[in-house]
Amino acid sequence: MNLVNNILKSQSSMEVLRRSFSISPRLLTEKSLTIREAITQAMDEEISRDERVFLIGEEVAQYDGAYKMSKGLWKKHGDKRIVDTPITEMGFAGLATGAAMAGLRPICEFMTFNFSMQAIDHVINSAAKAYYMSAGKVKVPIVFRGPNGAAAGVGAQHSQDYSSWYSQCPGLKVIAPYSAEDCRGLLKAAIRDDDPVVFLENELLYGLHFPLSDEASSTDFVLPIGKGKIEREGKHITLVGYSIGVKICMEAAKELEQSGIQCEVVNLRSLRPLDEDIIKNSVKKTHYLLTVEFGWSQCSIGSEVITRICESDAFDYLDGPPIRVTGADVPLAYAKTLEQNSMPQVANVVKSIKKILNK
Amino acid sequence: MNIYAKLIVRLPANGCRLLLQQQQQKINSSIPSLATAVRKASSGPILEYDEPNAYKLHMLEEGPSNHVSCTREEGLDFYRKMQVVRRMEASANNMYKAKLIRGFCHLYSGQEAICVGMKAAMDKNDSLITAYRAHGWTYMMGVSVTGVLAELTGKKTGCSEGRGGSMHMYGTNFYGGNGIVGAQVPLGAGVAFAHKYRGEQNVCVALYGDGAANQGQVFEAFNMAKLWLLPCIFVCENNGYGMGTSTARASANPNFYKRCEYIPGLWVDGMDVLAVREATRFARDWCTSGKGPIIMEMATYRYFGHSMSDPGTSYRTREEVQDVRKSRDPIASFREKLVQAKLVTEDEFKGIDNEVKKLIEDAENHAQNDPELPVDELYSHVYSSPPANFKIRGCDNFTFKDISK
């Protein structure tokens, strides 16, 4: 009798709890993580796991990282594993690549990918092509990572999106993660990968929280490079995005839900190799395609996605022309309104979807 | 029966004029030859002599020993190796002219004393990286002559299966063969970084030319190597010309061994294989004793033009080239020393020459007659770990290659 009373009492208190705080049991156990934490953790775990892994770049050690991406790592792992460099991108990217050729596994951080242009000869000619040119004698297990694309108000020279540049080059693997789970799993996979990887983060996402499943918290959690994810299922149109592009796709999808339009959002996760199949399967279901990214339109990732769909049997499933949402075709201005209108907004996505669907 | 005689060559001070005009790029300068005085002595089969002008020092209290020597065996070995490189490059020259080699081909002829002398002082686990004038180094780092020549002709028996060509040959502890001028220098500093990281007692030798010596990334590499005391020997192979531009026209400071004000430097007569070896021993000791990097400038000369498309006579005279061949050739001068010391007879040298000739001919055979990789192979070795169900696109929408591991 007491037991039954206890159960009834606890059930009713749960009811009270639920009504007052609107907390569902699932959320109580689910963790959340910022992108920043996800990346720091991934690096920490891989550095602890394999003594050949080390982090090298400007301000990564004693400053905890220009964007605090390596917070606490130098204190924990020391000078040997977390290496501060002078401001010499070409030199340290080359040095890191040489160290990789000689069997270490460097994580080479570019403070932003804009500065990687100074070092791009090493990323492409020294790293990407070495395995092929040497007929397999020279492996380059390096990860080049850092923030890519626009920040806020940093001006044209500090805002470029290099997705197209790097993803064009065979020999590289190019990853552009979106969520905390993406960052954890894909950065760990990148560090464990024997090929050179370019890991394109986004500064505007660094502080955002994302839920993290238990599985994704495991130290051996890796995601496959070259496979995308359906972030949201839908049947009316396929939205393909990567990195911060996924964010506005999700926001547009939420907004259009109210109009009865259900968008399927494909998060590419990797740009090279590109997960063609996930896009094709989605297009075959929805019959419409819109690509969304923050980089410039000419030779964009969206151009590649649309061309691949048109070249495949998925073309026959299209009921309307596939189009793109991209950054405006200008160097990025500083003034707030100009900057905002040079970057794609939810409104651009919503407008494009309505046009395609004739709604 | 061989008569071994230990020969000490003493160079009378006033009779000694040496070969060191590298700093002055006078087109018609006649280069004085080494005057030797020979005195026979008894016992021990070695060649030894003093080379008082073999080195110049920058930020170093003392340098390598001016007294150099080698045993008969070493002498034969060095001669043979230099001759292999010389003949191998001659073969490349001929095959290029016969259109069996395409694209770029940069020949090492004249610089043999550097690759042979340096390698003799290196440990077998030391690493090396150089630029595109790499065939001699490729051979010295363990790739067979066939591996080199067949790579030049693009055959699958080439050391890179024909995928690399002249500028992209690799071997054990040998990181190429690099096409972009100067890129190999930070890469080499990175290899040295790896040696130090793993606590190994090895160095990385990173070579570059007088043309590359002005590259910014070279100075970036110097900076980090010194900051972190990397065991890196930076070696400038100064052959007087960066493509068609003499050092005087390219470098405000053509003393390449002095170019870094915080890294000690050593200028070496790069035409003397024993001086090169002695200097390399010194440099290696410097690096492996935790003192950090060191720079060496090897004063040398290339007989051919910059590459096969450069006759090499529009920016220097034929007389200059001939002068060097006559008076400073690293192989002929070393041979002469060994003969004069009565360590090796002319007949023995002829025997070696014939043996080398056969070796090259055999390699040429492979280079000319072996097959290329089948076309399908053009899709492999893009990734060392390709993802599952990975496809590579060919030249049209109907050509794809499935790569699965």
Q: Which pLDDT belongs to residue B122?
A: 98
A169: tokens are 């080059």
Q: Does B174 touch chain A (CB under 8 A)?
A: no
Listed by number, the residues of chain B in 144-173 with a beta carbon closer than 8 Å to a beta carbon of chain A are 159-161, 163-164, 168, 170-171
**Measured distance CA(A309)–CA(A16) in Å, rounded:** 52
For chain B, 405 residues long, give each residue's pLDDT as a single digit of tens: 444 434 333 434 433 333 444 444 433 333 333 334 333 444 468 999 999 999 999 999 999 999 999 999 999 999 999 999 999 999 999 999 999 999 999 999 999 999 999 999 999 999 999 999 999 999 999 999 999 999 999 999 999 999 999 999 999 999 999 999 999 999 999 999 999 999 999 999 999 999 999 999 999 999 999 999 999 999 999 999 999 999 999 999 999 999 999 999 999 999 999 999 999 999 999 999 999 999 999 999 999 999 999 999 999 999 999 999 999 999 999 999 999 999 999 999 999 999 999 999 999 999 999 999 999 999 999 999 999 889 999 999 999 999 875
Q: Where are the alpha helices (DSSP H) in A116-264?
A: 120-121, 130-133, 163-167, 180-192, 214-217, 244-257
Residue whose C-alpha is closest to residue B302's, from B127, B150, B105: B105
The verdict on whether A58 is a catalytic residue reads no
Q: Collect all residues of chain A within an 8 Å Cβ-Cβ radius of residue B134.
A: none
H helices, E strands: number in chain B: 11, 14
Q: Which pLDDT belongs to residue B45?
A: 83
**Measured distance CA(B202)–CA(B192) in Å, rounded:** 8
Let me know: does B107 contact B89? Beta carbons within 8 Å. yes
Q: Does the pLDDT value for residue A225 go beyond 90?
A: yes
Q: Closest approach of chain A CAs to the CA of B220, in angstroms?
A: 5
Pick the CATH number of B72-369 from 3.30.750.24, 3.40.50.970, 2.60.40.10, 3.30.930.10: 3.40.50.970
Listed by number, the residues of chain B in 225-264 with a beta carbon closer than 8 Å to a beta carbon of chain A are 227
Instruction: Please report the ipTM that was assigned to this predicted complex.
Output: 0.90
Q: Does domain A229-356 have CATH number 3.40.50.920?
A: yes
Q: Does B185 touch chain A (CB under 8 A)?
A: yes
Query: How do residues A64-91 score in pLDDT, each as one tens digit?
Result: 999 999 999 999 999 999 999 999 999 9
Write down the domain spans for chain A.
30-217, 229-356
Q: Does B178 touch chain A (CB under 8 A)?
A: yes
Q: Does B127 touch chain A (CB under 8 A)?
A: yes
Q: Which pLDDT belongs to residue A190?
A: 98
Q: Does B187 touch chain A (CB under 8 A)?
A: yes
DSSP state of B292: -
Q: Collect all residues of chain A within an 8 Å Cβ-Cβ radius of residue B189.
A: 91, 94-95, 98
Query: How do residues A1-42 score in pLDDT, each as one tens digit?
Result: 565 555 555 555 555 444 444 444 445 556 899 999 999 999
Q: Does B181 touch chain A (CB under 8 A)?
A: no
Q: Does the pLDDT value for residue A123 go beyond 50?
A: yes
- Active-site pick, A89, A109, A181, A264: A89
Same-fold call for A30-217 versus A229-356 = yes
CB pairs under 8 A between A and B: 148
Chain A, nearest residue to B188 by Cα: A98
Lowest mean pLDDT among A161-170, A232-241, B20-29: B20-29
Query: How do residues A126-143 score in pLDDT, each as one tens digit?
Result: 999 999 999 999 999 999
Q: Which pLDDT belongs to residue A3?
A: 57
Residue type, B188: G
What pTM was computed for the model? 0.90
**Measured distance CA(A186)–CA(A143) in Å, rounded:** 11
Nearest-by-Cβ selection for B189 from A95, A137, A139: A95
Architecture in CATH for domain A30-217 = 3-Layer(aba) Sandwich (3.40)
Q: Which pLDDT belongs to residue B22?
A: 43
Q: Does the pLDDT value for residue A292 go beyond 60?
A: yes
**Measured distance CA(B133)–CA(B169) in Å, rounded:** 11
Q: Closest approach of chain B CAs to the CA of A80, in angstroms?
A: 7
- Kind and range of the H or E run holding B205: strand B204-209
A49: exposed, middle or buried (Cβ count in 10 Å: 0-12, 13-18, 19+): middle
Find the mean pLDDT for residues A311-325: 98
Find the mean pLDDT for residues A288-309: 98
The percent of residues in chain A predicted with pLDDT above 70, rounded, is 92
Q: Collect all residues of chain A within an 8 Å Cβ-Cβ radius of residue B161.
A: 135
Cα-based angle B345, B350, B354 (whole degrees, multiple of 5): 150
